[in-house]
């Protein structure tokens, strides 16, 4: 049953709220299907600091656990295919949240720790894996203020499944005057935003 797929486990997320938890079949390949359990969080703290941002797109992060049915061990070809489909799905997710001009900027590999639950940096039963991470640049408008944004997507094959992890955050205010623009400039901390996102990427299991 698709609804039996366990959700991804996150490290502690202070100031975030879960806004979605869903199971679906993102794609099928002949007799092979992919079932995904996706959990999405949004940054709630900004709503208090910048009231004008209450109804607009803002920082979010997500993780999906993908299970191939029937069970198919990860391979280079399968990982490449999942990565391609995941990239298209991530772009659609960004656009649905109001991000535009989404473009791929760079890619890298990242060592992550998966399994074991809880704080994986401190657990002996956590194992290391290699994630393919892609960075995207984008634009987003919030309360009439244009912002430059960064977005990341990580694809990690692990134990016969795949973990997709990512999110987006505003990097800087491109233009705009007034109280909202000033409040956003004060609230945006791209280095911290990036560090928090990568903490999740490294520890989701």
Per-residue model confidence as pLDDT tens digits over 35-56: 899 999 998 877 777 777 666 6
Q: Determine the average pLDDT of the residues in 170-198.
A: 89
Residue 157's pLDDT band, with cuts at 50, 70 and 90, is: confident
Residue 118's pLDDT band, with cuts at 50, 70 and 90, is: very low
Residue 187's pLDDT band, with cuts at 50, 70 and 90, is: confident
Contact 104, 138 (CB under 8 A): no
- Assess whether pLDDT exceeds 50 at residue 82: yes
> What is the token pair recorded at 93?
């997710």
Q: Cβ contacts of residue 54 below 8 Å, gap of 6+? A: 47
Number of domains the chain is built from: 1
Determine the structural domain holding residue 10 and report its residue range.
2-203
Residue 108 parent element (H or E): strand 99-114
Please state, rounded to an integer, the average pLDDT across all residues of the chain: 84
């Amino acid at each position: 049953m698709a609804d039996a797929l366990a959700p991804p486990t996150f490290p502690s997320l202070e100031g975030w709220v879960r806004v979605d938890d869903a199971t679906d079949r993102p794609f099928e390949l002949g007799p092979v299907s992919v079932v995904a359990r996706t959990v999405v969080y949004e940054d709630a703290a900004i709503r208090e600091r910048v009231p004008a941002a209450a109804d607009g797109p803002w920082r979010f992060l997500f993780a999906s656990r993908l299970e191939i049915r029937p069970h198919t061990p990860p391979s280079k070809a399968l990982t490449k295919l999942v990565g391609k489909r995941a990239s298209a799905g991530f772009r659609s997710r960004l656009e649905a949240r109001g991000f535009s001009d989404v473009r791929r900027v760079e890619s890298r590999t990242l060592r992550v720790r998966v399994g074991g639950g809880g704080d994986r940096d401190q657990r002996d039963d956590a194992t290391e894996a290699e994630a393919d991470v892609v960075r995207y640049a984008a634009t987003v408008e919030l309360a009439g203020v244009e912002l430059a944004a960064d977005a990341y997507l990580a694809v990690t094959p692990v134990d016969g499944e795949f973990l997709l992890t990512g999110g987006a955050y505003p990097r800087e205010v491109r233009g705009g005057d007034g109280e909202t623009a000033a409040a956003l400039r004060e609230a945006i901390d791209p280095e911290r935003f990036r560090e928090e996102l990568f903490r999740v990427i490294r520890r989701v299991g």
